[in-house]
Amino acid sequence: MGGKRVWFVHPDLGIGGAEMLVVNAAVALENLGYQVEIFTAHHDEAHCFAETKSDGRLAGKVKVYGDWIPRTLFGRFHVVCAMLRMIWVSLVITYKSIVQGDKPDVVFCDQVSHLVPLLTRGTGAPVVFYCHFPDKLLCVDRGSFLKRLYRLPIDWWEEASTGAADTVVVNSKFTASVFRESFSSLVHVPLGVLYPAIELAQFDRKLNNTETKLANDGMPTGYLEHIKKFGKDAVIFFVD
């Protein structure tokens, strides 16, 4: 008999900040004696964190379902396809829980809130939803009537399904404020702030000569500091 079981649900276990959060959280919980599994629609060992590889710390803990569902339809409908892929993952989890009696104690749902009601009913376990940023705000191209019509049910379901989670956490106080502004019907939902963790042991080493000089002399001006990721919604600024 091991510790309590925590199942993580994530759309694409590649390399990124959201994926690092899931991996670090899974490893940390394992260190505390929990049994963890990660359910995802895609995992490529050529593009993933070392912990999730077949010889990594989480070997055998990553379960892939729904990768056969396309990511787009003729280069469009990215969100709908992502939802369908993750609904398939959720149906597998529901089957495992109800038919096979293989149930988690807690489900950690990352990024895609649309699954929360299905996960709640399918597993009977409390669901924690982690919000990195409201998805509806990431869709800035709403110029046409058809695009606005397409996004209407998706945005509505995002808000409704987020409110169905037992616990909602965000990655910063800034995201918490945006969450409040974006989801007016969820003013009653308590929000926790859970900052993405890092593995400190990876940085516990001696400074090399260049780093020592910078530490002693102070950082020169003109360094580029990058927060978040490279993309149209990235936040980039100079430290001067």
Q: What pLDDT, on the 0 to 100 scale, is given for residue 222?
A: 53
Helices 78-98 and 145-162: angle between axes, nearest 10 degrees = 30
Q: Under 8 Å CB-to-CB from 175, ≥6 apart: which residues?
A: 131, 132, 133
User: Are residues 55 and 21 both part of a single domain?
Assistant: yes
Phi, psi of 140 (to 5 degrees): -95, -15
Give the domain extent around 137: 5-201
Give the residue among 64, 44, 51 at the shortest CA–CA distance from 25.
Answer: 51
User: Are residues 227 and 153 both part of a single domain?
Assistant: no
Residue 231 CA neighbour count, 13 Å, CB half: 7
User: Is the pTM of the predicted complex or chain greater than 0.95?
Assistant: no
111/27 Cα distance (integer angstroms): 19
User: Are residues 129 and 31 both part of a single domain?
Assistant: yes
User: Are residues 52 and 113 both part of a single domain?
Assistant: yes
19/38 Cα distance (integer angstroms): 11
Kindly report, residue by residue over 190-224, the tens digit of the pLDDT: 999 998 877 777 666 665 666 566 666 665 555 55
What average pLDDT does the segment 172-181 reach?
95
**Confidence band for 240, pLDDT divided at 50, 70 and 90:** very low
User: Are residues 107 and 79 both part of a single domain?
Assistant: yes
Percent of the chain at pLDDT exceeding 90:
70
User: Are residues 161 and 211 both part of a single domain?
Assistant: no
Neighbours of 7 (CB within 10 A): 27
User: Are residues 235 and 119 both part of a single domain?
Assistant: no
User: Are residues 70 and 167 both part of a single domain?
Assistant: yes
Give the residue among 9, 185, 176 at the shortest CA–CA distance from 108.
Answer: 9
Q: What is the CATH number of the domain that holds 12?
A: 3.40.50.2000
User: Are residues 218 and 137 both part of a single domain?
Assistant: no
Kindly report, residue by residue over 13-57, the tens digit of the pLDDT: 999 989 999 999 999 999 999 999 999 999 999 999 999 999 999
User: Are residues 231 and 115 both part of a single domain?
Assistant: no
User: Are residues 152 and 50 both part of a single domain?
Assistant: yes
User: Are residues 230 and 163 both part of a single domain?
Assistant: no
Q: What pLDDT, on the 0 to 100 scale, is given for residue 239?
A: 45
Q: What pLDDT, on the 0 to 100 scale, is given for residue 230?
A: 46
* Number of structural domains found in the chain: 2
